[in-house]
Chains A and B, each alone.
Chain A
Amino acid sequence: MKLRNQFTIFSALLVLLSVVGVTSFLYYTEKKVLLKEMELKEMATVEQLAQIGREALIAKDDLLLLNYVNLIKKTTPAVVYAFIENTTGKILAHTDPMRIDEKDVSAGAPAALKTENILKQNFFEKIIDAEKSQSATPGSAGTDEDNGVAARIEILDFSKPIYLGKNKAAVARVGFSKEELRKIVTDSLSKTRTRIYGIGVINMLIGCVVAFLLAAAISRPIKILSDGAAEIGKGNFEHELHINRKDELGQLSTTFNDMAHKLKELDEMKRDFVSSVTHELRSPLAAIDSYTNMMMKQLESQIGKGRNKNQQLERDKTWEDNFARIKKNTVRLSKFIDDLLDVSKIESGKLDVCPENIEYEPVISDMVELFTPKAAEMGIDLSFEIEKDLPFVFGDANRLKQVITNLVGNALKFTPEGGKIKIKAYMEKANGSGMVETAVADTGFGIPEDKVEKIFSKFEQVKEHRDKVKGQKGTGLGLAIAKAIVEMHSGKIWIKSKVNEGTTFHFTIPVAMKKEDENGGKNIAC
């Protein structure tokens, strides 16, 4: 998983956890506060009733009491009943007018009559349905009761004694429906909950966005670093990382650039070294080669003149053979040095390719002619086939010959006796591409799929195959050079291969340019 996504998910989870924690904490405190507030309100209702009751008792104003009791019932919907009774339990005023002057027989009565201070009780009470008794006329209330509309309700009852002087004169009692109370709490809490959820969701969204941005901010330089490392890994030491940060990532990028710089220096050193070594190797080798040429020529002329006695002639022939061997080896060595030099030129971008409009057929036929004796000696059938009316191509004949030499040389090396090598040249199938495709197909060992990519790298050969080759094994530079040359012609090179069936190298080069374009092309390449 991407670092950025990991970061985002991790931070989002953190935000989620904290939001859930904070909101549930808020919710529970809110609930507690609400319950406490409600209880205080309830107690205040009783206390106020007691206060009014006391005043009414002193003033002997029953009407005030009745009015107030009804007022309580109206203003506080949760109230089931409110009444005042004297110390014997006789009801003086009641929300239900039918109960006035009756004796209080409710479950809470004994405790309420005894209490000296405010008292809170919970009990179940058979009460005429609050709504019905409220809507019904006093006359019909009795009928309702008779019909058994009364329900058992859970009651929260508050009692407060009323003192006149030091004597307890009466008790004020208010009963709340617990269900109603709960409803009020739930209603109010559900509002709070919606609010908290809203805030929570907004927080979550903001948190996720911030987490994503933060993650992106942290992971972007890491991505730049990893891309940069990959680029440098590919050999592009010019690549420079730009991370303007003063933290560890910034330091890392600086270190990285330093490393790339050092690598570049090392690479340049290697290139210079290879270049100077090859020049230094070439000079004495050229001397050996030239001397050999001279001596071979002298021997040839001596043998040709036939001046020698038989014995000497024989010796000269042996010498001629020996010189031929020296010559063969110097050629092989100088070919390798040339390849090395070409590679170092490719690396420094100094390989000279001078394309012009040329006929393609001779390029191939010349090379086939050159390789035919060697192929015959190895028991390999080498042939070529060129499409009719193939147009001229825009290429450097010598360099293209080098490509074909390298590909055919490669095919010869890895094709066993009795095999076939066929070169084909034709217009590329994709119409209008303006490219001539060349295919060099062999019936050799084939290249395993995982090695196909690497085969064009310097010094790269398939090891198991290399061990099968007798004599000259080659250096693994040929294909790298071929690739570079083809690419300098703006062509492509690729392989199709099946293990134990053979390999086909394909490459494309552009067809000849029109006269006016030709100069432009030349200027670029030379």
Chain B
Amino acid sequence: MAEKILLVDDEDDYLNLLRLILTPEGFEVETACDGEDALRKLDEFKPDLMILDVNMPKLDGHGVCKKVRENAQFKQLPIIMLTVRSNEEEEVRGLDNGCDDYVTKPFEPTTLVTRVRTVLRRAKKKLKV
């Protein structure tokens, strides 16, 4: 069964780009356009991984991350954060809030796919243990 990824970004361009990169790699993809939308779709879609942009209106990436961790069902959900390059402060904050990895914009498609695979594999190992 194809692994499911929830993409969250307020910029349509990035959602589209991520879909174009990830779909050919065999992932099932759903998109959300802001933090609140993401939390709604979490229950319906039940993703295996979430890719989360940091800068969003209403509820930003860090906020979403915290909320997700508070929900018992998704406590273990792997999250990859998307940040703007050379913003180490945000990366640190993201990792503190419980995200598993981060990818900086702009990114190479290969890097993104590799990161996604690595995080999923790590999560599966954790589940088995």
Q: Does the CB pair B107–A290 fall under 8 Å?
A: yes
Q: Which residue of B lies closest to A291 (CB)?
A: B17
Interface pick from B59-67, B70-78, B81-89: B81-89
Q: Which residue of B lies closest to A354 (CB)?
A: B88
Instruction: Find out whether the CB atom of A338 lies under 8 angstroms from the CB atom of B105.
Output: no
Interface residues on A, range: 10 to 19
Contact check, B106 vs A293: say whether CB atoms are below 8 A apart. yes
A288, closest chain B residue (CB): B106
Q: Is A294 an interface residue (CB 8 A)?
A: yes
Q: A294 near B17 (CB under 8 angstroms)? A: yes
Chain B 110-129, CB-CB to A under 8 Å as 1, else 0, gives: 10000000000000000000
Cα-based distance from A102 to B85 in the complex (angstroms): 135
Residue of A nearest to B18 (CB): A290
B17 and A290 within 8 A (CB): yes
Contact B106 A285 (CB under 8 A): yes
Nearest-neighbour CB distance to chain B for A324, whole angstroms, equals 14
Tell me what chain A mostly uses at the interface: helix, strand, loop, or mixed.
Answer: helix
Question: Could you mark each residue 82-101 of chain B with 1 if its beta carbon is under 8 Å from any beta carbon of chain A, else 0?
Answer: 00111011000000000000
Q: How far is the CB of A114 from chain B (nearest CB, A)?
A: 123
Residue contact B109 to A286, C-beta cutoff 8 Å: no
- Whether the Cβ atoms of A286 and B20 lie closer than 8 Å is no
Residues of A within 8 A of B107 (CB): 290, 293
Determine the chain A residues whose CB is within 8 A of the CB of B84 once the complex forms: 279, 282-283, 286
* Chain B residues, Cβ within 8 Å of A282: 84-85
Residue in chain B with minimal CB distance to A341 = B86
Task: Report the Cα distance A288→B20, complex, angstroms.
Answer: 14
Q: Can you name the residue of chain A whose Cβ is closest to the Cβ of B82?
A: A286
In the bound complex, CA of A352 to CA of B90 (Å)? 13
Closest to B13 in A: A287
Whether B14 contacts A287 by the Cβ 8 Å rule is yes
In this assembly, does B44 line the interface, its C-beta being within 8 Å of a C-beta of chain A?
no
Could you say which residues of chain B place their CB within 8 Å of the CB of A157? none
A residues near B3, Cβ cutoff 8 Å: none
* Contact residues, A312-354 vs B (CB, 8 A): 330, 334, 338, 341, 352
Q: Is A437 at the interface (CB under 8 A from chain B)?
A: no
Residue A297 CB within 8 A of the other chain: yes
A289 at the interface (CB under 8 A from B): yes
Is B43 part of the contact surface with A, judged by Cβ < 8 Å? no
Q: How far is the CA of A279 from the CA of B84 in the complex (A)?
A: 8
* CA distance in complex: A290, B11 (Å): 13
Looking at the complex, which one of A283, A297, A341 makes contact with B105 (CB distance below 8 Å)?
A: A283
Interface residues of A (CB under 8 A from B): 279, 282-283, 285-291, 293-294, 297, 330, 334, 338, 341, 352
A/B interface sample: 30 pairs, CB < 8 A: A279-B84, A282-B85, A283-B11, A283-B84, A283-B105, A286-B84, A286-B85, A287-B14, A287-B17, A287-B105, A289-B106, A290-B14, A290-B17, A290-B105, A290-B106, A290-B107, A291-B13, A293-B106, A293-B109, A294-B17, A294-B21, A297-B108, A297-B109, A297-B110, A330-B106, A334-B106, A338-B85, A341-B86, A352-B88, A352-B89
